[in-house]
Every structure is written in C-alpha cells, then in structure tokens.
Amino acid sequence: MYEQVSHSLLNEIMTELKPDIKSENIRHFYTRLGANFYSIYTLFHYLYGDRDDFRQQAQRLVETMARQYILRSDELKQLDIERERDHNWFLNQQWVGMALYSDGFAGDLTTLITKVPYFQDLGINMVHVMPIMACPSGHSDGGYAVSNYREIDRRVGTKEQLDILAQELRKRDILLTLDVVLNHTSDEHEWALRAKQGEEKYQDYYYVFPHREIPDMFEQTMPEIFPETAPGNFTWVEGIDKWVMTVFKNYQWDLNYNNPAVFIEMMDIILFWANHGADIVRLDAVAFLWKKIGSTCQNEREAHLILQLMKDCCQVTAPGVLFIAEAIVAPVEVAKYFGEDAIHAKECEIAYNATFMALLWDAVATKCARLLDQGIKSLPDKLERATWLNYIRCHDDIGLGFDDADIRLAGYDPIPHRRFLIDYFTGDYKNSFARGKPFGHNAKTGDARISGSLASLVGLEVALERRDPKEIDDAIDTIILLHGMIMSFGGIPLLYYGDEIGTTNDYRYVEDERKSGDTRWMHRPTFDWDKAELRNKHNTIENRIFEALKKMIAVRKETPAFADFNNRELRDSGNPHLFSFCRINPYHASDRVLVVGNFDARPQHMEIDDIIPTGVVQQAQLHDLYSGEKPAMFKNALVIPPYRFYWLQAR
Ligand code: GLC
C-alpha cells in the first residue's frame, strides 16, 4: 500500500523531528510508525483535519510517541517484540485476574508487594490495581477523579514503589493492569484549575458554556449517570460563571476530545504508565468519549475512532500493551469496543462482559437460566484476537443491562422483571436472603442498580446471622457455581478482592461523609487479613471458598478448551434451571468440555443424549474435571446437585 498524502506528511514530520529525537537510534519505532501511519493519519485527519494547525498537531503526536518510546526500558521493548511474535498470548486459558484497591487490599503499594505470594497461592496472574493516580481526598469517586495523571496518590505510595511492584510481578509472570481515566478529570486537576482562572486554552480542554442554551439541548437526550447524587450533566462554576459538562459527579469534568491537545495529552499519559510497567491499561468509561447534541452521548462513532487511534499509536510505541474497554453499555454496543476488525480498526483487545455478569445475577435471583441462555444467544460474536473479561462483582454497581427483547423472549415482562430483581437483591422480596442496597435510583424513570458484596448478595451474611448451616452451604455453593461459570465461559476471569474468602458487606462507609452517599462503598472492603488466614484452616468458610477457587484456577490453566478462540457452543439442556455450553479445544476439535451449572435449589437432570452423541462415548466415561468425580446418573440422565456445576469431559 502506498498512500501519497499520508506518506508525504510523514516525510515532512520526519524532516522536522526535534534533535533530541533525531539523535536516537529507534529503528523499531520507525518501522512500526511506517506500518501504522496511514491508519493514524486517516483517523487523526478525520477527527482534526479541519483545523489550521492540523500539521503541527500531527507533528506533536508523533514526537510524543517517539519520546515515550525513547523512555521505554529495554526490558519492556524486548517484551513488546516477544508479544508481537506471539500475538495471541492473552487468549490463552492460563490468565486469571483479580481487581483490588491497593489501599483496601494492602494499605499501600509497598505492602502490596509483600502480598504477591497470596496471588500465587490462589493462582492469580493478572492484577488490576485500581486507580492510584493523585486525586482529592474528598471528591475522588474512588480514584476515578484524577487531579494529577503523572503522580501516584501519596496515600498509596510513589512511582518508585510502583516500579518495584511491576518488577516483582513481571519476575513471576503476573500481569499488571492500571487504570487511565480518559473521559474526565477532577475539578482539582491543573487543567481545570487553570480553566477556572479563566485561561481559554484550558477551558478548551473541557465542555464549557456561558449560557444554558447548549447545555439544555444536550440535556434533552442525555441520560443521568448518578441521578441521586449528581443530577443533570452540567455544573455551574462560580468565578468563570459558566456551565461545565460533568456527566458523572459534579466534580468530574468531561474532557473535550474535539481538541487534539486533549487527545495527545491522554495518549502521552497512557504511554507514560505503559512505561511504568502496565501490561494492560484499563480505559475507563470509554463509551462517553464523544459528545453530540441530539444523542445520548454514549457509543458515538467518534468515541470508537478515538480508541482506534489510541490503539494504533500504542502499537507503535508499546505494542505489547493491551487495552481493556470499560464500557458498561447495551450488549450489542459492548462488542463494538473490540473494533471493527482484528487488524484494521482495532480498539481494545479486552472488554468487560457486563452482559454476562448481569445475566448471571438474573439466574441467581430467578433460580432459572432462561434469560441467561437467551442473553448469551443474543451476545454478538466477538472479533478474533479479542477476549472478554468475565466477572461476577467489581467495585461498581450491578446494572441490569440486558435487553428488553431478551427479557420478553425469556418469558418475562421487562418492567416488573427488573423491579423484581431490584427487590430481590435489596432484600425486599419474600424468601430473598440477599443484602444489597439500591444504587443510582432514578425517581424519574424508576431505574436502579444494585450494590453489595458477592457473599452478601448470595445470602451468606443472612445465613451467618441465622447460623443456618444449610443456608451457609447454599451461599458458598452459589459463590463457587458463579466462579465456575466465569472461569470456563471463554475470556479472562476477573475475581474481585475479598470474594475468594467470602467477604460480606462493609457498612462502615456510612460513617464517612465522603462515602456515605455512595452505596458502592459497601463492597469496597478493607481486606481482612486475619479472615484470610482462615483459608488455611480446614473447613472454614474461607477455606472452602478459597480452596475451591484455587482448584478451579489450576484446572482451568490445564484445560486448553478454556482458551478463548470463539470456541464455545451453547447447548440446549432442555431444563430451564441449567445453563450449559460446550468448550472446544481449538487445537483438537474432539477434545470438548461440557459446562453445566444448576442455578436451582433442587437437583436437576439433563438428558445424556444431549451431552454426547450416542455411541461416541459411554456415559461411564464422563468425569468432572473440577472435582475429578463421575457425575451422578439416574436412568439416562445426568443429575446436577443444587447450585453445582460440572466441567464434563469424556475420557
Ligand atoms: C467507571 C468506574 C466507576 C466510576 C466511573 C466514573 O465506570 O468504574 O467507578 O464511578 O467510571 O469515573
């Protein structure tokens, strides 16, 4: 391919490169820049081509990428080359992640380094350390309101400590994931402070309006993200007497990607953390990156183009680094964040599977897998070279983000069904043992999401209070069942810190005025290391959950059918309480694992002919990879105990 316009621009940029860059021997950088430049140019031109200073902005972008490349350590450059050679490395079944707050989990980064053996004990080899960049002590949104993108919050540690952590993890083949909050800054970020002082250059970094006219137009179609605590999408800023777009909290100012300076700054920041050892960068709230009057300002085409451009630029400087898309949006929209194609127009290699997460919770509440099955059937096919992040809980609320059409196909009425789910998880429904709280209740639409820890949502907290051994068993089994699903579905399972030892809700957040308005804090625990010690004591709750997950992780890592190469077939089990799918070894199609989970409180059966074509294998040959046992059979049916799962293979 030879494209004259972009090549002549690249030539001009090369001629005018600053001497500090020219003097460096950066052969690999130039090779990759040449390979990606047509695409970078096309996207950058689409977004910013109508500006008089387009040429200079393109120059700045290339110089930013080059400078970060020069700063990248030899060790990381070598890793880039290895990962380029083995570009499917992250689709392998060996990866298992855990997300945690470094302060909640360990106190600070230095202590976190001493906890690495805990990850190894469990089998975790990807650690998502949630936002650690500087943020105000009050208005922080759990670290998602950044006041300085290049400093680590002093409550958590220093860059030197992070570098040591990254080294220690790398030595043990554990991946490090860090957040970059792309969509907004804190109102205490230097750019915002300077905007407040009237500097136009920085007002242009945000969406700032002198009158209500434009904000009102936006409001007509923009939903509210935090309706209780931050209604509306604009905040009046005294002093400059202007309205600033604040989609999330009123102290989170939305960045204006119409301005190429913003794009270049954020690109530089992504590469900065890549150079501090992030193997994976979690890009926060990516659906919101582009705002357009008359739209919901989510999932706009330009948001995708920005991500494509970021990916292209990252591939030039730090090609070994992966992106996670945090896009908690409708099922059909989520898959678009992988990009249009695995090579051209690629975006993020990994995306949160919020659909699967929400559907699993539906199955827990209804004890029925009908909607789960239907929702997964409707999940669009994923690109090659892309993978899901499968999770049960994270630091955020649970949004019931499945499709109304799927709810109907599963035989429910959407409005009452969603109402039921909220009532169920907030404990308002009879026979519900869940101890969640509503989050983001919207009085205008009646919508709400759910907060609460995994253990409390599946009834462990209530069962412990009642000292009911049967209920305790059920809750533990449900925790294990849900993990059995995310470990085998296809993608990277992401555990949430504390779930592996059955951590229940932490209600102390109500005493802290910085947290009390946000129920998500009830499932952002201060990790209890004494409780964690109990994992080593036979038959404690901690021991039962921890050992189960540890075993599951070990088995997953040895099961090639669990690698993610679009090798999953949904199975119709003929029994609405069961969720079942088949995983196929991408290298040996005859090597299959049949996954089945029973969400009901009673044993359920599945006809054996549905499992294996008659004559191919004898039922006696079936065994469960996880427990190592032969599953129980009655007549010609497999019997799945309550809240249990099987990973069945024919020997
Ligand atoms: C993401 C984060 C969430 C935060 C929001 C705004 O969704 O996961 O915790 O509140 O972005 O930054």
Tens-digit pLDDT profile for residues 586-644:
999 889 999 999 999 999 999 876 555 544 455 568 899 999 999 988 888 899 999 99
Report which DSSP code applies to 255. Answer: B
Identify whether the C-beta of residue 349 lies closer than 8 Å to the C-beta of residue 90: yes
The DSSP result for 620-634, as a single string, is GGEEETTT-PPPEEE
Q: Which tokens in the block code for residue 573?
A: 């089990």
pLDDT, residue 619, reads 57
The gap between the terminal CA atoms of the chain, to the nearest Å, is: 51
C-alpha of residue 327 to centroid of ligand 1, in Å: 10
User: Letter for the amino acid at 451?
Assistant: S
- Long-range contacts of the stretch 328-332 (C-beta < 8 A, 24+): 328/287, 328/352, 328/354, 328/396, 328/399, 328/401, 329/287, 329/298, 329/299, 329/354, 329/401, 330/401, 330/403, 331/355, 331/375, 331/378, 331/379, 331/380, 331/401, 331/402, 331/403, 332/378, 332/380, 332/403
Q: Annotated catalytic, 513?
A: no
Identify whether the C-beta of residue 523 lies closer than 8 Å to the C-beta of residue 453: yes
Q: Percentages helix, strand, coil for the chain, rounded to the nearest 5?
A: 45, 15, 40
pLDDT, residue 618, reads 58
Atom of ligand 1 nearest to the CA of 394: 8
Identify whether the C-beta of residue 313 lies closer than 8 Å to the C-beta of residue 264: no
Task: Output the residue whose Cα is nearest ligand 1's atom 11.
Answer: 285
Is ligand 1 within 6 A of the CB of residue 144? yes
Which of 248, 326, 496, 519 to mutate for ligand 1's pocket (most ligand atoms within 8 Å of CB)? 248
Q: Exactly one of 326, 349, 403, 624 is catalytic; which is it?
A: 326
Q: Which residues contact 234 (CB under 8 A, 6 or more apart)?
A: 209, 215, 218, 219, 243, 244, 245, 246
pLDDT, residue 447, reads 85
Atom of ligand 1 nearest to the CA of 395: 9
Report which DSSP code applies to 149. Answer: E
The DSSP result for 417-472, as a single string, is HHHHHHHHHTT-STT-----EEES--TTT---EEE--HHHHTTHHHHHHHT-HHHH
CA 624 to centroid of chain Cα atoms: 30
Nearest to 633 by CA among 624, 279, 140, 509: 624
C-alpha of residue 263 to centroid of ligand 1, in Å: 20
Point out which residues pair with 94 in neighbouring strands: none
Rounded to whole angstroms, what are the CA distances from 457 to 54, 364, 398, 425, 464?
52, 9, 11, 6, 13
Q: How many Å apart are CA 15 and CA 455, to the nearest integer?
A: 61
Identify whether the C-beta of residue 499 lies closer than 8 Å to the C-beta of residue 392: yes
Report which DSSP code applies to 152. Answer: E
Identify whether the C-beta of residue 589 lies closer than 8 Å to the C-beta of residue 612: no
Q: Which tokens in the block code for residue 493?
A: 């399972």
C-alpha of residue 298 to centroid of ligand 1, in Å: 14
Nearest to 266 by CA among 326, 316, 306: 306
User: Buried b vs exposed e over 586-609: b needs ≥16 C-beta within 10 Å?
Assistant: beeeeebbbbbbbbbeeebbbeee
pLDDT, residue 21, reads 96
pLDDT tens readout for residues 50-100: 999 999 999 999 999 999 999 999 999 999 999 999 999 999 999 999 999
Is ligand 1 within 6 A of the CB of residue 141? yes
From the number of C-beta atoms within 10 Å of its C-beta (0-12, 13-18, 19+), residue 138 rates as exposed
To which residue do tokens 């991946």 refer?
Answer: 175
pLDDT, residue 615, reads 46
For residue 294, the SS3 value is: coil
Which of 396, 515, 523 to mutate for ligand 1's pocket (most ligand atoms within 8 Å of CB)? 396
C-alpha of residue 225 to centroid of ligand 1, in Å: 10
CA 249 to centroid of chain Cα atoms: 20
To which residue do tokens 């699993």 refer?
Answer: 360
Q: Which residues contact 538 (CB under 8 A, 6 or more apart)?
A: none
pLDDT, residue 608, reads 73
SS (H, E, C) 468-497: CHHHHHHHHHHHHHHHHHHHHCCCEEEEEC
C-alpha of residue 314 to centroid of ligand 1, in Å: 23
For residue 142, the SS3 value is: helix
**Angle of CA points 518, 195, 309, to nearest 5°:** 80
Identify whether the C-beta of residue 466 lies closer than 8 Å to the C-beta of residue 608: no
Across 88-240, where does the E strand assignment appear? 97-100, 126-129, 133-134, 148-152, 175-180, 184-186, 208-209, 234-237
Rounded to whole angstroms, what are the CA distances from 508 to 101, 119, 317, 515, 519?
17, 27, 44, 9, 11
Q: Exactly one of 103, 179, 284, 312 is catalytic; which is it?
A: 284
Q: How many Å apart are CA 366 and CA 353, to the nearest integer?
A: 20
Rounded to whole angstroms, what are the CA distances from 210 to 188, 206, 225, 236, 283?
20, 13, 23, 10, 30
Report the helix count and the strand count for the chain, using DSSP H and E: 25, 25
Is ligand 1 within 6 A of the CB of residue 234? no
Task: Output the residue whose Cα is nearest ligand 1's atom 10.
Answer: 141
User: Buried b vs exposed e over 215-247: b needs ≥16 C-beta within 10 Å?
Assistant: beebeeebebbbbbebebbbbebeebebbbbbb
pLDDT, residue 3, reads 87
Q: How many Å apart are CA 335 and CA 327, to the nearest integer?
A: 9
Nearest to 145 by CA among 514, 640, 473, 457: 514
Residue ranges in the chain modelled with pLDDT below 70: 1, 609-620
| Torsion from C-alpha of 400, 401, 402, 408, nearest 10 degrees | 60
Q: Annotated catalytic, 168?
A: no
β pairing state of 604-607 and 637-640: antiparallel
Q: How many Å apart are CA 637 and CA 590, to the nearest integer?
A: 22
Q: Which tokens in the block code for residue 275?
A: 């150079």
Q: Where are the alpha helices (DSSP H) in 558-596?
A: none
Is ligand 1 within 6 A of the CB of residue 284? yes
Is ligand 1 within 6 A of the CB of residue 329? no
Atom of ligand 1 nearest to the CA of 248: 6
pLDDT, residue 612, reads 58
pLDDT, residue 273, reads 98
Rounded to whole angstroms, what are the CA distances from 138 to 186, 461, 515, 526, 602?
11, 30, 9, 18, 48
Is ligand 1 within 6 A of the CB of residue 251? no
Across 198-336, where does the E strand assignment appear? 208-209, 234-237, 242-245, 252-254, 280-283, 322-325
Q: How many Å apart are CA 128 and CA 492, to the nearest integer?
A: 12
pLDDT, residue 607, reads 87
What is the C-alpha R_g of the chain? 25
